[in-house]
């Protein structure tokens, strides 16, 4: 019977039939939800990015050399982080774990760990048929554009002997970058958009990325000669400075920050692949 119908339709009819199917009239994908976030396209290009983690020459902490990373032109990123209202919808659907939330449309969802962020991305993917995910560290830096700060350590002579002093220096440097920011959570739209039209970058929120912590050895010429396997129990959260957070921690301000000054708030911002 199917062959008979197709033969009667001819080539043009089959094309129309297939178009109808793809549009959802014959059981195809449902229409997209009307509560999807506003997105900003990321133009294709290249960026230089310093690998994250602990890199050393002997016992001395060193800066990892920058690497060139290509960003494809098929990515979009959320204009603002995931709202408390959006996260509450995911919880109601049984796809996200419960965390403290007011359900507000004007506030980003905080108190979310890396696993919560991945769950939200999976829920968004499942209900749209699209690919939603967290950005990598280089993708986040590229999207942040002029708001991204290349974080380096001071490679002075006294950073090789005392780990406590190195930690204190990192803490102080991060405190200066934050400029004693008020830890109070601000509504979306508080901070100006960057050159790509992406808002709410910096301030007192940090955003989860997929980038894992790693260790490496650097020779005297500054080249990486050995890298460890990624330690993905600790992930990079990116904001006005880098923070390395244990993946199950929801509130790094009270513990769970592996290096330096802990973030005030952890939020989710997703990329959509086209």
- What are the structural domain ranges in the chain? 1-31, 34-273
CATH of 34-273, one of 3.90.1580, 3.40.30, 1.20.120, 3.10.20: 3.90.1580
CA atoms within 13 A on the CB side of 128: 19
* CB neighbour list of residue 197: distance below 8 Å, 6 or more residues apart: 40, 79
Query: Which of 11-20, 88-97, 198-207 has the lowest average pLDDT?
Result: 11-20
Q: What is the pTM of this model?
A: 0.81
pLDDT range class, residue 164, cuts 50, 70, 90: very low
Q: Regarding predicted confidence, which is higher, 226 or 28?
A: 226
Judged against a pLDDT cut of 90, whether residue 55 lies above it is answered with: no
**pLDDT single digits (tens) 171-194:** 445 444 444 557 899 999 998 999
Report d(CA 19, CA 26) in Å as an integer.
10
**pLDDT single digits (tens) 64-85:** 888 999 999 899 999 999 999 9
Put the strands of the sheet holding 131-133 in their side by side order: 39-42, 75-78, 271-273, 131-133
Query: Residue 22: its pLDDT value, please?
Result: 41
Query: Which of 87-96, 102-111, 127-136, 152-161 has the lowest average pLDDT?
Result: 152-161
Q: How many helices (H) and strands (E) does the chain have?
A: 5, 15
* CB neighbour list of residue 190: distance below 8 Å, 6 or more residues apart: 200, 203
* CB neighbour list of residue 195: distance below 8 Å, 6 or more residues apart: 145, 146
Quick check: helix, strand or coil at residue 56?
Answer: strand
Query: Residue 125: its pLDDT value, please?
Result: 98
- C-alpha distances (whole Å) from 99 to each of 109, 118, 215, 218, 233 are 9, 15, 32, 41, 21
């Amino acid at each position: 019977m199917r062959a008979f119908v197709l033969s009667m339709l001819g080539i043009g009819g089959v094309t129309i039939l297939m178009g109808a199917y793809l549009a959802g009239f014959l059981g195809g994908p449902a229409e997209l939800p009307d509560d999807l976030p506003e997105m900003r396209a990321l133009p294709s290009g290249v960026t230089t990015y310093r690998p994250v983690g602990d890199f050393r020459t002997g016992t001395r902490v060193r800066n990892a050399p920058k690497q060139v990373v290509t960003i494809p032109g098929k990515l979009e990123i959320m204009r603002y982080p995931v709202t408390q209202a959006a996260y509450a919808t995911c919880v109601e659907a049984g796809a996200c774990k419960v965390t403290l939330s007011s359900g507000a449309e004007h506030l980003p969802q905080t108190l979310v760990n890396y696993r919560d962020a991945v769950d939200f991305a999976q829920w968004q993917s499942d209900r749209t048929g699209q690919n939603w995910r967290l950005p990598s560290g280089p993708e986040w830096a590229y999207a942040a554009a002029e708001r991204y700060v290349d974080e380096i350590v001071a490679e002075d002579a006294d950073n090789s002997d005392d780990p406590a002093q190195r930690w204190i220096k990192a803490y102080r440097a991060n405190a200066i970058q934050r400029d004693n920011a008020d830890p109070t959570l601000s509504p979306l739209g508080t901070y100006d958009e960057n050159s790509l039209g992406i808002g709410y970058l910096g301030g007192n929120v940090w955003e989860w990325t997929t980038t894992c912590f790693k260790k490496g050895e650097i020779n005297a010429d500054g080249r990486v000669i050995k890298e460890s396997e990624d330690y993905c129990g600790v992930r990079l959260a990116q904001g006005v400075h880098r923070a390395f957070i244990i993946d199950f921690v929801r509130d790094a301000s009270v513990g769970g920050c592996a290096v330096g000054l802990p973030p005030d708030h952890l939020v989710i911002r997703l990329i959509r692949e086209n």
